């Protein structure tokens, strides 16, 4: 559809929604803002890794019960569900926030910085909310409080999903949105649509970014084990060096993207994140293993890239006299925004943030397991600004790093938007 026509259509919808919406007052938002910041700081100071969010879940459950909201715990190990039954009949809207932290040592100089340490993959690590899940959780609690106060007016029901393990369950475990879907959360509560948001450290505070269709990439993992022949480091010709061959494979993988993938169609990425081989400086080892990530935004491209990884690794290894074993683990699907639902809710975004502060953005190669929910029911996922106004985009902190930082003044827009999305959808679709 032509963008000008789309904008005109959006303005018409905006007018209808604006007339019918149950508008939040500034007083209602101000009353909950300090609590949201307090909750966010608690979560930030007490982060827990995926599938280990035991204390986080207890805190969430306690806050929901204080609000008088019915809860269910132990969902997908440590997840918490809140349920608000509306005073009138109508559809059921689900709102989702992820609750897990990352194995990162915090460097940000704030009074509520994380000092938590734990063990991850047999190593002592710090734990930090280095992707903003603490803000997501706090904003959903704030939204819950506002919606609970309007319970009798709701033309339908609200399911509050506090989801663990978005960053991925530990090896050998199930978790996250995929497990919640498998356990039947959406079906149990009769969810019709689902909304989610993600804070952005590089996105200006007070703004919202969205996209129709594919918003974030599918994320798959690969492991390549190169099997050579051990030898003395001084006589490499007497063995088969898996480290050198692994280096050639790494470079070969990059040409899959730069020379064999139609990047004008959609973006794609192959990155090696870890390589492990050998125990001593003068011993050529028998094996070398690398692991990495594959990001794609198109299903057909995803299949082609998987096959090219297998072909590239095995043939390079064979040329060097070695063998390569390739394992590809399917991860998160593409995070897909229902085009119909996105169009329907655009007026709510405009009303919440101001039309000048709402932008259509290109797809991103990051991934989100919200995608599992959106594969089951129509979903809409958007990005909320968290970058301070006086910080230039190129100087903003990055996600998954020790310096990750979010401006707390932007959180109330997240609460406002999620609440408005719920109220407006129920108003439009309720009986």
Q: Give the pLDDT score at 22.
A: 64
User: Is 343 found in the same domain as 198?
Assistant: yes
Do 187 and 70 share a structural domain? yes
Q: pLDDT-derived band of residue 253, with 50, 70 and 90 as boundaries?
A: very high
Of the two residues 342 and 3, the one the predictor is more confident about is 342
Show the domain range for 99.
Answer: 3-217+334-429
166 carries an active-site annotation: yes
* pLDDT average, residue stretch 145-168: 97
How is residue 229 annotated by DSSP? B
Q: Which of the listed residues 307, 332, 357 is the one where a domain comes to its end?
A: 332
Round the average pLDDT of the chain to a whole number and report it.
94
- Do residues 184 and 133 both lie within one domain? yes
Asked if residue 356 has pLDDT above 60, the reply is yes
Q: Is 72 a catalytic residue?
A: no
Q: What is the mean pLDDT of residues 362-384?
A: 97
335 contacts 374 by C-beta, under 8 angstroms: yes
Catalytic residue among 166, 192, 408, 424: 166
pLDDT at 15 over 90: no
Same structural domain for residues 309 and 357? no
Domain count, the chain: 2
Res. 412: pLDDT tops 70: yes
DSSP letter for each residue of 33-50: HHHHHHHHHHHHHS---T
The CATH number of whichever domain residue 213 belongs to comes to: 3.40.630.10
Are 274 and 296 within 8 A, CB to CB? no
Question: In this structure, are 210 and 358 located in the same domain?
Answer: yes
32 and 139 both lie in a single domain:
yes
Whole-number Cα distances in Å, 11 to 144, 206, 344: 29, 20, 11
- Specify whether 322 is located in the same domain as 384: no
Residue 128, beta-bridge partner list: 102
Segment 333-345 shows an average pLDDT of 97
Helix axes 411-429, 339-353, angle to 10 degrees: 130
Q: Is the predicted pLDDT of residue 11 greater than 50, yes or no?
A: no
Neighbours of 149 (CB within 10 A): 14
- Name the domain boundary from 332, 358, 382: 332
pLDDT level of residue 23 (50, 70, 90 thresholds)? confident
186, pLDDT greater than 60: yes
Count of beta carbons in the 10 Å neighbourhood of residue 379: 25
- Share of residues in the chain with pLDDT > 90 (%): 93
pLDDT over threshold 80, residue 148: yes
Q: Examine the fold and report which residue of 332, 350, 373 is the final residue of a domain before the chain moves on.
A: 332
pLDDT the model gives residue 18? 43
Q: What is the CATH number of the domain that holds 263?
A: 3.30.70.360
Which pLDDT tens digit goes with each residue over 44-77?
A: 999 999 999 999 999 999 999 999 999 999 999 9
Are 312 and 402 in a shared domain?
no
Q: What percent of the chain has pLDDT over 70?
A: 95
Q: Are residues 270 and 327 in the same domain?
A: yes
Res. 308: pLDDT tops 80: yes
The 8-class DSSP code of residue 338 comes to -
pLDDT of residue 13 exceeding 70, the answer is no
pTM for the model stands at 0.89
Residues 208 and 243 in one domain: no
Q: What band does 135 get if pLDDT is binned at 50, 70 and 90?
A: very high
Please tell me the distance from the alpha carbon of residue 148 to that of residue 405, in angstroms, as a whole number: 30
In this structure, the answer to whether residues 116 and 78 fall within a common structural domain is yes
């Amino acid at each position: 559809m032509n963008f000008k026509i789309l904008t005109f259509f959006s303005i018409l919808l905006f007018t209808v929604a604006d007339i019918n919406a149950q508008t939040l007052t500034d007083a209602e938002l101000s009353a909950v803002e300090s609590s949201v910041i307090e909750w966010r700081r608690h979560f930030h100071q007490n982060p827990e890794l995926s599938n280990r969010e035991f204390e986080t879940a207890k805190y969430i459950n306690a806050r929901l019960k204080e609000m008088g909201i019915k809860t269910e715990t132990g969902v997908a190990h440590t997840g918490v569900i809140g349920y608000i039954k509306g005073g009138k009949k109508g559809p059921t809207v689900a709102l989702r926030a992820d609750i897990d932290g990352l194995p990162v040592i915090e460097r940000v100089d704030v009074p509520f910085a994380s000092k938590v340490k734990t063990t991850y993959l047999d190593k002592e690590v710090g734990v930090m909310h280095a992707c903003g899940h603490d803000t997501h959780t706090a904003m959903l609690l704030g939204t819950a409080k506002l919606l609970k106060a309007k319970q009798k007016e709701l033309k339908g029901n609200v399911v509050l999903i506090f989801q663990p393990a978005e960053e991925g369950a530990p090896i050998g475990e199930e978790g996250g949105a995929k497990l919640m879907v498998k356990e039947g959360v959406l079906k149990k509560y009769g969810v019709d649509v689902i909304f989610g948001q993600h804070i952005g450290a590089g996105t200006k505070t007070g703004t919202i970014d969205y996209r129709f269709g594919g918003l974030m990439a599918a994320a798959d993992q690969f492991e390549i084990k190169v099997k050579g022949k051990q030898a003395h480091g001084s006589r490499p010709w007497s063995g088969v060096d898996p480290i050198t061959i692994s280096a050639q494979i790494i470079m070969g993988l990059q040409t899959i993207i730069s020379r064999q993938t139609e990047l004008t169609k959609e973006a794609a990425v192959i990155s090696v994140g870890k390589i492990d081989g050998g125990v001593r400086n003068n011993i050529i080892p028998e094996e070398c293993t690398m692991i990495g990530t594959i990001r794609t935004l198109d299903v057909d491209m995803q299949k082609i890239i998987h096959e090219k990884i297998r072909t590239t690794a095995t043939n390079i290894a064979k040329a060097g006299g070695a063998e390569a074993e390739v394992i590809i683990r399917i991860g998160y699907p593409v995070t897909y925004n229902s085009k119909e639902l996105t169009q329907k809710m655009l007026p709510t975004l405009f009303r919440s943030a101001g039309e000048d502060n709402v932008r259509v953005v290109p797809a991103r190669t990051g991934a989100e397991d919200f995608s599992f929910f959106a594969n089951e029911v129509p979903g809409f996922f958007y990005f909320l600004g968290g970058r301070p106004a006086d910080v230039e985009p190129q100087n903003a902190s990055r996600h998954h790093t020790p310096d990750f930082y979010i401006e707390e003044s932007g959180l109330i827009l997240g609460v406002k938007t999620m609440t408005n999305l719920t109220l407006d959808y129920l108003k439009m679709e309720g009986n």
